[in-house]
Amino acid sequence: MIETELTTRATALFGIVDTIYGLLLEWGVSPSLAKSLDEVISVSLLFLLAWAANLFSRLVVYRIIVHFARYTPVKWDDVFIEHKVVKHLVRVIPGIIVNLAAPIALRSELWVVVMQRAAQIYIVIAILGAIGASTKALTVIFSRSKEYADKPMKVVFQIVAVLAYFVGAIVIISILVNTSFTSLFAALGASMAILMLIFKDSILGFVAGWQLSVNDMLRPGDWITVPKYGADGDVEEISLYSVKVRNFDKTITTIPPYSLVSESFQNWRGMQESEGRRVKRSVLIDMNTIRFCTPEMLEQFKKIAYLKEYIHSTEEQIALYNQEYGYDNSMLVNGRRQTNIGVFRAYLEEYLRRHPEVNHNMTAMVRQLQPTEKGIPVELYFFISNKNWVDYENIQSDIFDHVMAIVPQFGLRIFQYPTSGLPLFEQ
The CATH number for 222's domain is 2.30.30.60
| Residue at 33 is within a domain | yes
| Residue at 207 is within a domain | no
Question: Cβ distance 306 to 316 under 8 Å?
Answer: no
| Residue at 190 is within a domain | no
Q: How many domains does the chain have?
A: 3
Whether residue 145 is found in the same domain as residue 7 = yes
Whether residue 300 is found in the same domain as residue 224 = no
Continuous H helices in 106-152: 109-143
Whether residue 6 is found in the same domain as residue 34 = yes
366-387: pLDDT as tens digits: 999 999 999 999 999 999 999 8
Whether residue 266 is found in the same domain as residue 133 = no
Give the Cβ contact number of residue 276 at 10 Å.
21
What distance in Å separates the CA atoms of residue 345 and residue 342, rounded to the nearest whole number?
5
Of residues 178 and 192, the one with the higher pLDDT is: 178
Classified as helix, coil or strand, 8 is: helix
Q: What is the band of 7 on the pLDDT scale with cuts at 50, 70, 90?
A: very low
Classified as helix, coil or strand, 321 is: helix
Estimate to the nearest angstrom the gap between the alpha carbon of 148 and the chain centroid: 14
Whether residue 297 is found in the same domain as residue 240 = no
Query: 83: which residues sit within 8 A by CB, 6+ positions away?
Result: 133, 134, 136, 137, 140
Whether residue 244 is found in the same domain as residue 325 = no
Give residue 242's domain range: 214-273
Looking at 149, 174, 204, which one is the last position of a domain? 149
Residue 164 confidence (pLDDT) above 80: yes
Helices (H) and strands (E) in the chain, counts: 17, 8
As a whole number of Å, the end-to-end CA separation of the chain is: 105
Query: 140: which residues sit within 8 A by CB, 6+ positions away?
Result: 79, 83
What distance in Å separates the CA atoms of residue 188 and residue 198, rounded to the nearest whole number?
13
| Residue at 425 is within a domain | no
| Residue at 206 is within a domain | no
181-211: pLDDT as tens digits: 777 666 666 566 666 676 677 777 777 776 7
Whether residue 232 is found in the same domain as residue 306 = no
Lowest mean pLDDT among 111-115, 150-154, 396-400: 150-154
Whether residue 6 is found in the same domain as residue 142 = yes
pLDDT above 90 as % of the chain: 28
Question: Cβ distance 343 to 311 under 8 Å?
Answer: yes
Residue 82 confidence (pLDDT) above 50: yes
Whether residue 9 is found in the same domain as residue 138 = yes
Whether residue 114 is found in the same domain as residue 133 = yes
| Residue at 418 is within a domain | no
Whether residue 222 is found in the same domain as residue 351 = no
| Residue at 427 is within a domain | no
> Rg of the chain over CA atoms, in angstroms?
40
Whether residue 7 is found in the same domain as residue 134 = yes
Is the full-model pTM beyond 0.75? no
| Residue at 227 is within a domain | yes
Please report the beta strands in 70-115, taking only residues with DSSP state E, as ranges in sequence order. Answer: none
Mean of pLDDT values over 140-169: 77
